[in-house]
Amino acid sequence: MSDYDYDLFVIGAGSGGVRASRVAASYGAKVAVAEEHRIGGTCVIRGCVPKKLLVYASMFAEELDHAGSMGWDLGELSFNWEKLRDHVNGDVDRLNGLYTQTLDSHKVEQILERATVTGPHSVKLSSGREVTAKYILVAVGAWPYMPDIPGVEHCISSNEVFHLEQLPKRIMVVGAGYIAMEFAGIFNALGCDVDVVNRTQTILRGYDEGITDRLLRLASARGIQFHMDSRLNSVEKMEDGTLCVDIEGRDQRIDTDCVLVATGRVPKTDGLGLETAAVDLGDKGEILVDEHNRTSCDSIYAVGDVTNRVQLTPVAIREGQAFSDTVFGEKPHTVDYDCIPSAVFSQPPMGGVGLTESEARDKFGSVKVYTSDFRPMKNIFAETQERGLYKMICDADTDKVLGIHMIGPETAEILQSAAVAVKAGLTKRDFDATVAIHPSMAEELVLLK
């Protein structure tokens, strides 16, 4: 008989927590998972999945605009936000059900309550019940950061944006990271007047500057208004519902219908009780872990965004897998964080894998950069003059590909295969030796000059 109620108690049923739970259970562990919101976590419920559906829907605006030059007479068109919103949230319900079924099929007990840590082996539920576990895994993710300014209660975060009662005619997006740029593109494509307020001159820090510069120009040409080196001072709601926004350094305030704050996400550790088990936190509230996801308390582990290592769903899933394989499956291994590809579903989309040009020059000194600056065939009959840009950064001495960065239609779909090549350590010669698929955008990767 075990000295504990459970072999593993997981706090948080997002991508990392669900993967860890079901894998641990498959090894014979008695597992429970507590979730205070909905099974599925940020990605499924209020993140990448519903957001990608909005991206797909908004892209129809451009496709339908191009349709006339392709011979289609579509007649009068209209867009219904409420119908899209309800369909997207209906799919979230479907996925929530599938995640629940997955846990049920692996005999993982689901507790739909908030759980807090009360010691190295104990957890207290919001109902007052206290349980014990040999191991505790914290996988509560991160939460949108909201600034401490007057009127912030009139703003929304990326949590609430999926539930807007109606499509705003005007929207202000605060921030210029991937969440901000994706929603700016969505609302711009759906016909909203979009202002982006960014505290620096740089969008999408961490991505290759050549690619982000291209996106900034294209987004501006599509009508998105950027206010750089700017910060929100206050938001005032007028009698007619208009939001009057005071921006630092501007003489005039900006009127809008909605303010979406997308300035990053912070680990959701407040009030979690980690101090009762002497779990060390970092400067941003993140849980500090070793390569095996173990915290400063030997019986408590953490995976996913709450560790603030790489805030990406596939990374959280791999961390959850590695945790359960190591602790319960006698298959110890760690996650390799090198060459993780990522995409921004902006309009047009962009992404990259490996080192950026500036990172490669800092690390290797001598590098070769190959590019293709082209107009996608799908734009040939369109009024838009938008061009795609692919970049390959190589070690000048070995010819090894150090990074690939792209902007253009279907970037993520193309980049995934290219990421395999970069991860495998292939050279520019390997790309050159590969026959192109013609006509395609992907063929530009083997024709770079």
* Residues of each annotated binding site for NAD(+): 175-182, 264, 305
> Number of helices and strands (H, E) in the chain?
10, 21
Helix axes 178-189, 48-67, angle to 10 degrees: 40
Both tokens of 41, joined, read 């976590």
For residues 298 and 193, is the Cβ–Cβ distance under 8 A?
A: no
Query: Residue 294 gets which letter from DSSP?
Result: B
**How many whole angstroms separate alpha carbon 294 and alpha carbon 287?**
10
For residues 155 and 259, is the Cβ–Cβ distance under 8 A?
A: yes
Binding site, annotated residues for FAD: 52
Both tokens of 258, joined, read 């909605």
**How many whole angstroms separate alpha carbon 136 and alpha carbon 274?**
11
Among the listed residues 23, 1, 44, 333, the one whose alpha carbon sits nearest the alpha carbon of residue 10: 23
Among the listed residues 266, 265, 263, the one whose alpha carbon sits nearest the alpha carbon of residue 199: 263
DSSP state string for 356-412: -HHHHHHHHS-EEEEEEEE--GGGTTSS----EEEEEEEETTT-BEEEEEEESTTHH
Torsion of CA 435, 440, 442, 443, to 10 degrees: 30
Tell me the CA distances in angstroms from 203 to 194, 198, 217, 294, 391, one per residue in order: 16, 8, 11, 34, 18
Tell me the CA distances in angstroms from 106 to 5, 14, 165, one per residue in order: 18, 16, 38
**How many whole angstroms separate alpha carbon 171 and alpha carbon 259?**
6
CA 402 to chain centre: 23
- Give all strands of the β-sheet with 342-344 in edge-to-edge order: 342-344, 350-354, 401-407, 388-395, 367-374
Binding site, annotated residues: 52, 175-182, 264, 305
Q: Which residues are catalytic?
A: 438
* Amino acid in the structure at residue 133: A
